[in-house]
Amino acid sequence: MNPFVASILPLFFSFAVGVAARQLKLLSAKDATVLLRFVPNVCLPPLMILAIYRVELAGDMVLIPFCAMLVVFAIYFISSAAGKALRMSGPTFGSFLVGTLIMNTAFALPFFQSAFGDEGLARASLYDIGNTFLIFTFSYYNAIKYGDNSHTEKIQWNKFLKLPPLWAMLVAFGIKLGGMRIPPLGIEILEMLGQPSGTIIMVAMGLTFHPRLSHLGKACLGVFIRMGCGLGIGLLLAWVFGLQGISRNVVVTCSAMPVGFNTLIFAELENLDLEFASTMVSISIVLAMITTPLLIQLFS
């Protein structure tokens, strides 16, 4: 069996466990919210510290989060034009727009770790940071703009600065550039905390898998913009910046990630069309289970 295929099979199994747990009512979609918050706050920071600590730093790493932000802004103009042409209602258009803007880059992390080890995880995490910055700023702004809540709450622009993965990355680069060493016990503790991240992410994705038939055509269009147009923009950016190797793979593949789970959180917070958002997330997750490993292999 192909080593890469063998390494990602447990991820598919974890996704199936999440689907089964929901069907058997052992867990619910609300539990996925807890799991998906647990990963970036507890598991991902130590994983990122180890990944950056163990890899060779390269100049093209700076371009990776920048590419993630460029993808989001490019998708914004495409989705805005498409959504307005379809004359959607405000809350549905809000879910459509926000869903195409939010990339589920956390979904890609276990795949890149399986394919390239710490090198792949470190670079994919950089892309995730660029994407996450815009999730809690630009994407959240659009969720508020098109929601039907009557509040006038200001966007919490400082929320991004409180993200544990960001501080973990800064700490890791500080250790790396300062030539410091992490003792063996420290490495063992970091590995123990970070090890469950891939399993937890995939189980959570299985719990959120719940496609519905309402607005199916428009939901499929949103998924195509998020993943198909995202792929094309990622390829263009990789060519423009002359990216090669794992950096090219990360930018291209992560740009084609499924609709992010934060779409559901924002839809619930701002009274957007939650059912429409759930359909987009579910359809894109199924596609990404197929396209993500294929793209990683294709651009390796």
Is residue 18 included in any domain, yes or no? no
- Report yes or no: 145 and 91 within 8 Å, Cβ to Cβ: no
Q: What are 130-139's pLDDT values in tens digits?
A: 888 888 788 8
Is residue 264 included in any domain, yes or no? yes
In degrees to the nearest 10, what's the CA dihedral of 109, 12, 278, 108? 10
Is residue 186 included in any domain, yes or no? yes
Q: How far apart are CA 107 and CA 109, in angstroms?
A: 6
Domain of residue 122 covers: 43-298
* Nearest alpha carbon to residue 128 among 145, 146, 111: 111
Q: What is the pTM of this model?
A: 0.78
Q: What is the SS3 assignment for 262?
A: helix
Q: What are 182-201's pLDDT values in tens digits?
A: 999 999 999 899 888 778 87
Is residue 272 included in any domain, yes or no? yes
> Per-residue confidence at 1, pLDDT binned at 50, 70, 90?
low
Looking at the 3D structure of the chain, how many domains does it have?
1
CATH number for the domain spanning 52: value is 1.20.1530
- Report yes or no: 43 and 190 within 8 Å, Cβ to Cβ: no
Q: What are 114-158's pLDDT values in tens digits?
A: 888 888 888 898 898 888 888 878 888 888 888 765 455 555 556
Q: How far apart are CA 226 and CA 206, in angstroms?
A: 20
Is residue 179 included in any domain, yes or no? yes
Q: What are 66-108's pLDDT values in tens digits?
A: 999 999 999 999 999 998 888 887 788 999 999 999 998 888 8
Q: What pLDDT, on the 0 to 100 scale, is given for residue 239?
A: 96
Mean pLDDT of 4-23: 80
Is residue 23 included in any domain, yes or no? no
Q: How far apart are CA 173 and CA 178, in angstroms?
A: 8
Q: pLDDT averaged over the chain? A: 85
Is residue 112 included in any domain, yes or no? yes
Q: What pLDDT, on the 0 to 100 scale, is given for residue 230?
A: 97
Q: What pLDDT, on the 0 to 100 scale, is given for residue 296?
A: 94
Q: What pLDDT, on the 0 to 100 scale, is given for residue 150?
A: 47
Q: What is the SS3 assignment for 24?
A: coil
Is residue 17 included in any domain, yes or no? no
Q: How far is CA 24 from the centre of its chain?
A: 27
